[in-house]
Amino acid sequence: MIDYVDRVADEILADALSRAGAVLVEGPKGCGKTETARQAAKSEVRVDVDPRVEIAMGIDPALVLDGDTPRLVDEWQVQPLLWDTARHLVDDRQEKGQFIFTGSTASGEQAARHSGAGRFARVRMRTMTLFETGDSTGTVSLQNLAAGEEIRAVESSMNISTLFERMCRGGWPTNLELTLAQAQANNRDYARTIAEVDIRTPDGAKRDPEKVMKVLRSLSRGLATEMSVATIAKDTGINWETVSDYLDSLQRIFISEDQLAWSQNLRSRTPLRKAPKRHLTDPALALAVLNVSPEALVKNLPFAGQVFESFVVHELRALTARPVYHARLEDGLEVDALVEMDDAILAVEIKLGHSKEIVDGAAVSLLKIAKVLEGNVVPLVITGSGMSYQRLDGVRVAAVDTLCP
């Protein structure tokens, strides 16, 4: 049995329980939601496997929620009525930290009608970051960067080979102690389970597993690009309506996650493009779907750069617990990632390489984008390896294996 590994979400969940009557923890299957919730819970019920739940629901749903608090209600969406029951109990008790709901499917119709605003806080979990798996030195804090802290010079401990292996392994906790080959086999099985089983869970509708796999392969080839539904339809030979339905279902089970375009005001009058970039929940899933090995990535560095961009977006989302946007102006000026922090906007260019020429080019782009964004902009280049440091022009440079919250 693998010992529990501290997660970034631990503190986020503790804070949420201190300010709300209940907390909804969401994320893809296997990312560690239940184990993280257990660290904070005093009692639990597994709604999807406990036979007593069905009986209790027929008598009084509140019986399912009876127990020491915080009470973990795992896979609550199997019994949607529990959402309203918890809302009412939170109102009646007038106490914080009563329930932790976990689920691998986005809140359905019941939660949409009664959002739980003011009762439920929300925590989004993802697969493990380099910091959580012990592969990051944790010397560069994103929160501190946003607050104006300079980066002290430090050398990356990761080379391209080990980075590619980690990208192929992914961040699922169950893969931590497995060989790379075993982890990749698990990731392929995970993809197949999505196509054959999980894709049906949002609404129970039957979907063709082979067509789901085609959509997953298309998303994987177009990782971190602005793929339209029409492009995916053409790539797969599947009609637009079906592709749209499959994409919606993949998003509802947290497998596909779009990186939305920045929509805040600019100092420039040049319009922003609005297309999102496509990502999967962990880029290792894309590599599994395409059967790509670390050695294959070495032979196809342009695609490796795409995968690395998606990998860093995943890291930024998990480490900051904030939405990560991208921006592209009609005049061609663009930035790979924008994260709105408390004190600043992190503007991030993502580069697999770390040569002076590569970093110089990224810095020029960042300084241009900083002039058109409104607010305090902190320019940051995240590289695949090499030195982390602060340039004389104020641009920060950090290797991905130095990042922490």
Q: Domain limits of the chain?
A: 9-124, 130-404
Query: What CA–CA distances, in Å, run from 20 to 12, 110, 111?
Result: 12, 20, 16
For residues 66 and 94, is the Cβ–Cβ distance under 8 A?
no
CA of residue 5 relative to chain centroid, distance: 18
Residue 349 has pLDDT above 80, yes or no: yes
What pLDDT, in 10s, does the model give residues 68-111? 999 999 999 999 999 999 999 999 999 999 999 998 887 654 45
For residues 131 and 312, is the Cβ–Cβ distance under 8 A?
no
Average pLDDT (27-33) is 95
pLDDT bucket at 314, cuts 50 / 70 / 90: very high
Joined together, the tokens standing for residue 223 give: 């990782």
Q: What fold, for 9-124?
A: Rossmann fold (3.40.50)
The pLDDT, as a whole number, for residue 374 is 83
State the virtual CA torsion across 103, 108, 114, 118 in degrees, nearest 10.
30
pLDDT bucket at 343, cuts 50 / 70 / 90: confident
Sheet holding 377-383, edge to edge: 154-155, 387-390, 396-399, 377-383, 345-351, 334-340, 324-328
Residue 330 has pLDDT above 90, yes or no: no
Average pLDDT (158-185) is 96
Residue 331 has pLDDT above 80, yes or no: no
Average pLDDT (386-403) is 96
Coil, helix or strand at residue 399: strand
What pLDDT, in 10s, does the model give residues 235-281? 999 999 999 999 999 999 999 999 999 887 665 555 567 889 999 99
pLDDT bucket at 332, cuts 50 / 70 / 90: confident
Coil, helix or strand at residue 172: coil
Residue 84 burial (CB count, 10 A): 15
pTM: 0.94
For residues 236 and 228, is the Cβ–Cβ distance under 8 A?
no
Q: What CA–CA distance (Å, rounded) separates 271 from 71?
A: 48
Query: What DSSP string describes 182-242?
Result: HHHHHHHHHHHHHHHTGGGTTT-----HHHHHHHHHHHHHTTTS---HHHHHHHHT--HHH
Collect contacts of 364-371 with beta carbons under 8 A, ≥24 apart.
365/333, 365/334, 365/335, 366/335, 366/395, 367/393, 367/395, 368/333, 369/327, 369/333, 369/334, 369/335, 371/267
Average pLDDT (37-56) is 95
Q: What are the residues facing 358 on neighbouring strands?
A: none
For residues 173 and 30, is the Cβ–Cβ distance under 8 A?
yes
For 378, which DSSP code? E
The pLDDT, as a whole number, for residue 110 is 47
The pLDDT, as a whole number, for residue 373 is 86
What pLDDT, in 10s, does the model give residues 186-235? 999 999 999 999 999 888 889 999 999 999 999 999 999 999 999 999 99
Q: 155: which residues sit within 8 A by CB, 6+ positions away?
A: 386, 387, 388
Joined together, the tokens standing for residue 385 give: 């390896």
| Interior angle at CA 322, CA 319 and CA 323, nearest 5 | 125
CA-based R_g, the chain, Å:
22
